[in-house]
């Protein structure tokens, strides 16, 4: 194994450990969130985002790391996002959690994983068609909220924090 | 706020915050040691896995495919990260006794019964649709949902709203019994 692969493996083991401890790998938790009955996965994701955002924006503002935005290709994000949501609801896993679910014994995740591997192969076959249609509508490029709004991330982050903490308080009050 | 859940898990706030710390360390470590900043993600690995499998049967087809060429079919950092998720979950669940062999998820069984074939077929086709979407949007709840949001990417805000919004609508149709 190369150094890159070992680093990836260690990071993945820690990631999988935390996903499992947070109990977010389960089908029931994912579907529970989509039925607006159990917000465990949203609490987990938003907590990760709040903490990660501060560190990553700090590292980026000192030029230690480079930000790498995914392209704001309007057709791709809207159509792809909607397709993903449809499949996610039926499958009850996302790509990362399906692998983790398998690790905690939920072996039925193999069907979801097999479907996703086939889906990736289908996407590769259809890529030329998508490229000339849905991906060709309008691409705004790799843009960040900071550049679009033209204000410092250190003004955006407190607003974001306030909104999310308010949401957390509401979740706890409603026992979600 | 409790730090442990009834079944011995950790508070999702705590486990999530630790994933935030992991994400920060990971971008720093990859930048320092691999020379390029890598962000947590998962769905591109499914493309590489598909390419590796397809290559064993149709090597020319994979070599000639534009998308496989673009995403580079190889076992890279992210591929190992996704494999690592399996082992991490295995270690966490076996050490706190939450590991459980399950053939049909409880919520699914309640709505559609204990048939493994029915569950398997739905998960398989759901998986195809979800992966088409994730590749089109260029990310999944890891790449867009976590890494993109941490970077304050415009596309990730919209993708996450689409993922969850559509998921809520479709899940409502699929799992809610009509009140009749």
pLDDT in tens, B132-144: 999 999 999 999 9
d(CA A88, CA A82): 10
- pLDDT surpasses 90 at A130: yes
pLDDT band of B8, cuts 50, 70, 90: confident
Contact (Cβ atoms closer than 8 angstroms) between residue B78 and residue B142: no
Partner-chain contact B166 A115, CB within 8 Å: no
pLDDT band of A113, cuts 50, 70, 90: very high
d(CA A69, CA B154): 8
Give the number of residues written for chain A.
Answer: 176
Q: Is A167 exposed, middle or buried (0-12, 13-18, 19+ CB in 10 A)?
A: middle
Predicted TM-score (pTM) of the model is 0.96
Alpha-carbon torsion (B3, B5, B8, B13), positive or negative: negative
User: Largest Cα–Cα distance in chain B?
Assistant: 60
Q: Which residues of A touch B40 (CB under 8 A)?
A: 11, 15
pLDDT band of B176, cuts 50, 70, 90: confident
Nearest to A43 among B12, B36, B45 (CB): B12
Question: Which residues have a Cβ under 8 Å from the Cβ of A72 and sit 6 or more positions away?
Answer: A139, A140, A141, A142, A143, B153, B154, B155, B158
Q: Is A22 exposed, middle or buried (0-12, 13-18, 19+ CB in 10 A)?
A: buried
Contact (Cβ atoms closer than 8 angstroms) between residue A103 and residue B83: no
Return the structure tokens found at B40: 């947590």
d(CA B147, CA B38): 10
B13 reaches A (C-beta below 8 A): yes
Query: Which value, in Å, is the radius of gyration of the alpha carbons in chain B?
Result: 19
Return the structure tokens found at A42: 């949203």
The secondary structure element, H or E, covering residue B152 is: none
Partner-chain contact B129 A87, CB within 8 Å: yes
pLDDT band of B180, cuts 50, 70, 90: very low
Return the structure tokens found at A123: 């996407």
Average pLDDT in chain A: 97
d(CA A28, CA A39): 11
Nearest CA to CA, how far is B179 from chain A (Å)? 16
Nearest CA to CA, how far is A142 from chain B (Å)? 8
What's the mean pLDDT in A97-101? 98
Question: Which residues have a Cβ under 8 Å from the Cβ of B176 and sit 6 or more positions away?
Answer: A35
pLDDT in tens, B40-69: 999 999 999 999 999 999 999 999 999 999
- pLDDT surpasses 70 at B179: no
For A116, which residue in chain B has the nearest alpha carbon? B127
The secondary structure element, H or E, covering residue A108 is: none
Residue labelled with tokens 């398998």: A102
Other CB atoms within a 10 A radius of the CB of residue B10 amount to 21
- pLDDT surpasses 80 at B6: no
The torsion of the CA quartet B16, B42, A76, A68, rounded to 10 degrees, works out to: 70
- pLDDT surpasses 90 at B178: no
Nearest CA to CA, how far is B109 from chain A (Å)? 11
What's the mean pLDDT in B23-48? 97
d(CA B178, CA A65): 51
d(CA B5, CA A17): 16
Partner-chain contact A123 B67, CB within 8 Å: yes
Buried b (16+ CB within 10 A) or exposed e, B21-47: ebbbebbbebbeebeebbbbbbbbbbb
A51 reaches B (C-beta below 8 A): yes
Chain B (45-74) residues lying within 8 Å, Cβ to Cβ, of chain A? 45-47, 49-51, 53-54, 65-68
Q: What pLDDT shows up at residue B1?
A: 61
What's the mean pLDDT in A41-48? 98
Q: Which residues of A touch B166 (CB under 8 A)?
A: 81-82, 84-86, 89
B3 reaches A (C-beta below 8 A): no
pLDDT in tens, B80-133: 999 999 999 999 999 999 999 999 999 999 999 999 999 999 999 999 999 999
Average pLDDT in chain B: 95
Other CB atoms within a 10 A radius of the CB of residue A47 amount to 23
Partner-chain contact A20 B92, CB within 8 Å: yes
What's the mean pLDDT in A89-111? 97
What's the mean pLDDT in B148-174? 97
Nearest to A80 among B1, B136, B150 (CB): B136
DSSP 8-class letter at A136: G
């Amino acid at each position: 194994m190369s150094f890159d692969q070992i680093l990836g493996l260690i990071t993945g083991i820690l990631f999988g450990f935390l996903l499992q401890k947070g109990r977010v790998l389960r089908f029931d938790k994912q579907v529970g969130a989509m039925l607006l009955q159990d917000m465990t996965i949203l609490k987990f994701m938003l907590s990760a985002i709040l903490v990660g955002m501060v560190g990553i924006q700090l590292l980026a503002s000192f030029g230690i790391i480079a930000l790498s935005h995914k392209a704001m290709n309007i057709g791709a994000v809207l159509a792809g996002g909607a397709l993903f949501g449809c499949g996610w609801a039926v499958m009850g896993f996302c790509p990362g959690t399906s692998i983790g679910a398998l690790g905690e014994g939920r072996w039925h995740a193999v069907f979801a994983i097999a479907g996703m591997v086939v889906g990736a192969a289908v996407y590769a076959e259809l890529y030329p068609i998508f490229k000339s249609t849905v991906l060709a509508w309008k691409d705004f490029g790799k843009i960040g909220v900071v550049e679009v709004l033209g204000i410092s991330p250190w003004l955006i982050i407190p607003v974001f924090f306030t909104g999310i903490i308010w949401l957390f308080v509401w979740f706890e009050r409603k026992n979600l | 706020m409790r730090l442990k859940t009834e079944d011995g898990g950790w508070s999702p706030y705590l486990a999530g915050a630790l994933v935030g710390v992991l994400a920060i360390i990971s971008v720093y470590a990859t930048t320092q040691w691999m020379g390029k900043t890598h962000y947590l993600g998962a769905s591109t690995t499914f493309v590489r896995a598909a390419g590796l499998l397809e290559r064993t049967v149709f090597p020319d087809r994979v070599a000639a495919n534009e998308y496989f060429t673009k995403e580079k079919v190889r076992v890279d950092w992210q591929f190992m990260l996704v494999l690592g998720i399996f082992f991490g979950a295995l270690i966490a669940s076996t050490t706190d006794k939450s590991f459980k062999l399950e053939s049909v998820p409880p919520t699914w069984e309640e709505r559609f019964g204990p048939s493994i074939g029915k569950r398997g077929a739905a998960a398989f086709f759901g998986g195809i649709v979800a992966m088409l979407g994730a590749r089109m949007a260029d990310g999944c709840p890891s790449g867009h949902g976590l890494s993109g949001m941490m970077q304050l990417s415009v596309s990730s805000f919209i993708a996450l709203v689409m993922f969850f919004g559509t998921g809520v609508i479709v899940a409502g149709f699929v799992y809610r019994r009509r009140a009749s």
